[in-house]
Amino acid sequence: MLNDKELDQKLDKLIIGESVEETDPLIDIAKDITALKKIKIKEDRFGELKDEFVSTASKIEESQKSQEAVQVITKPKKIYFMNLRRAAAAALVLLISSGTTAYAATGAMPDSQLYTVKRASETASIYLTPSFLKSGLEEKISKERIREIKYMLKKKNTITNEEIIKELMTDVKDYGKTISEEKNLKDQIKKLDTEFNSKFNRNSKSTEKKNNDFKLEEKIDKQNNSVGKNKNDSEGNSRKP
């Protein structure tokens, strides 16, 4: 019978498709399992899903290009001033072409595929707004973030949602610094922070429990491993549920 290191080496060969001339029963089982590689999604469904992915990727690429063009205009370097007209024209064309998508994305929430487009167009509008009008725009964006956090807080307590809200909270706090005179907005941010902490308190406990469970399992592994050197694999079965 092979030990775990020898088995691992044979499996590496098996995985890359090399033939393994071994009569060990574990290798036979491994061959049966590698046959599951034949499981595939239906081709037409794969095509549909890929189309969705590519169209989202294209939207992001488009909005990124328009953002880059905007950055080119706002850079106060001489060389860019020379080409200002050309760059402005390019930005305009890109903005108009991505305009339909950006318009559709205005009401998008963080769990929507169009959300990235919405955020990109927000960034672009910040670049385009003159500095004396910026505070008004930032306040408007903060209010939008607060609306999104409220929406996300109504959703289920998942790790994904927790991460999304955390990111939104950071964003809204950053904006909060620049619009500090708006007391009402600051109060709202504080209130949401408390709500977020109380909602996900339970989640952090479950993560802690998961970590503890895992540490316990690792401890058992180590113990079994040291016993296993003498008794081969017989105690491996004791971990079966």
Partner 1 sequence: MVSRYKVKRMQKKLDLKKVIEDAKRHDVEALSHLYDEFFDKIYRYIFIRVRSKEVAEDLSSQTFLRLLEKISDFTWRGSGFSAWLFRIANNLVIDWFRVNKEVSKEIEVEDEKASTEYSVITNESFKEVILALKTLTDNQQQVIILRLVSGLTCRETAEVLDLSEANVRTLQYRALTATREELKVKADA
Q: What residues make contact with partner 1 under the rule CB under 8 A?
A: 3-5, 7-8, 11-12, 14-16, 25-26, 29-30, 32-42, 45-46, 49-50, 52-54, 56-58, 60-61, 64, 113, 116, 156, 158-160, 217-218, 221, 224-225, 228, 233, 236-237, 239-241
Q: How far is the CB of 50 from partner 1 (least distance, A)?
A: 6
Q: How far is the CB of 129 from partner 1 (least distance, A)?
A: 25
Residue corresponding to tokens 């060389």: 79
Residue among 13 and 134 whose Cβ is closer to partner 1: 13
The DSSP symbol for 181 reads: T
Residue among 124 and 189 whose Cβ is closer to partner 1: 124
Residue among 190 and 209 whose Cβ is closer to partner 1: 209
Residue among 14 and 137 whose Cβ is closer to partner 1: 14
Which three-class secondary structure state does DSSP give residue 105?
helix
Q: How far is the CB of 210 from partner 1 (least distance, A)?
A: 9
Backbone angles phi, psi at 41, to 5 degrees: -75, 150
Burial (Cβ within 10 Å: 0-12, 13-18, ≥19) of residue 217? exposed
Q: How far is the CB of 135 from partner 1 (least distance, A)?
A: 29
| CA quadruple 138, 111, 173, 180: dihedral, nearest 10 | 30
Residue among 88 and 108 whose Cβ is closer to partner 1: 108
Q: How far is the CB of 212 from partner 1 (least distance, A)?
A: 14
Written as six digits, the tokens of 203 are 């989640």
What DSSP string runs through 3-44? -HHHHHHHHHHHHTT-------HHHHHHHHHHGGGG----HH
